């Protein structure tokens, strides 16, 4: 079974631009979560989508948004990029059952903001 895939793997943008990152979950997984990893703040939860609906949200500004499609693929968007948005963005998928929130992570997208 294929794992979680994220595209692109690397991205360079400049301040003020916007960016869209994509995540394809493991087949059969309907929950997709996004995390930001930085040296200073560590791993922080951004949001989670299930059945095309945002089910959980972390403490990030409104510049960070996401969506999920009917095939469970998810995208996250960051508008008006800031230098501090440079990070590794990780996507994780899991089965929807409430008693099992084991998450499987993709390799991440490394975003550099210049």
22 lies in the binding site for another protein (CB under 8 A): no
60 lies in the binding site for another protein (CB under 8 A): no
Q: How many CB atoms lie within 10 A of CB 65?
A: 16
Which C-beta is closer to another protein: that of 37 or that of 79? 37
58 lies in the binding site for another protein (CB under 8 A): yes
Find the shortest distance in angstroms from Cβ 107 to another protein. Answer: 5
How many residues would you count in the chain?
A: 114
35 lies in the binding site for another protein (CB under 8 A): yes
Q: Which residue has the tokens 């008693």?
A: 99
Find the shortest distance in angstroms from Cβ 109 to another protein. Answer: 10
Distances (CA, A) of 91 to 9, 81, 114: 12, 19, 23
Strand runs labelled E in the chain: 5-7, 10-13, 19-24, 31-38, 42-50, 53-57, 64-68, 74-78, 87-94, 104-105, 109-113
Which C-beta is closer to another protein: that of 24 or that of 31? 31
Applying CB under 8 A, which residues contact another protein?
4, 31, 33, 35, 42-45, 48, 50, 55-56, 58, 90, 92, 94, 98-108
């Amino acid at each position: 079974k294929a794992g979680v895939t994220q595209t692109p793997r690397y991205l360079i943008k400049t301040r003020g631009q916007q960016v869209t990152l994509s995540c394809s979950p493991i087949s059969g997984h309907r929950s997709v979560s996004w995390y930001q990893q930085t040296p200073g703040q560590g791993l922080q939860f951004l949001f989670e989508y299930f059945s095309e609906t945002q089910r959980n949200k972390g403490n990030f500004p409104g510049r960070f948004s996401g969506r999920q499609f009917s095939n469970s693929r998810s995208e996250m968007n960051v508008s008006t990029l800031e230098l501090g948005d440079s990070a590794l963005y990780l996507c994780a998928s899991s089965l929807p059952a409430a008693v099992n929130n084991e998450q499987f992570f993709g390799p991440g997208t490394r975003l550099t903001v210049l």
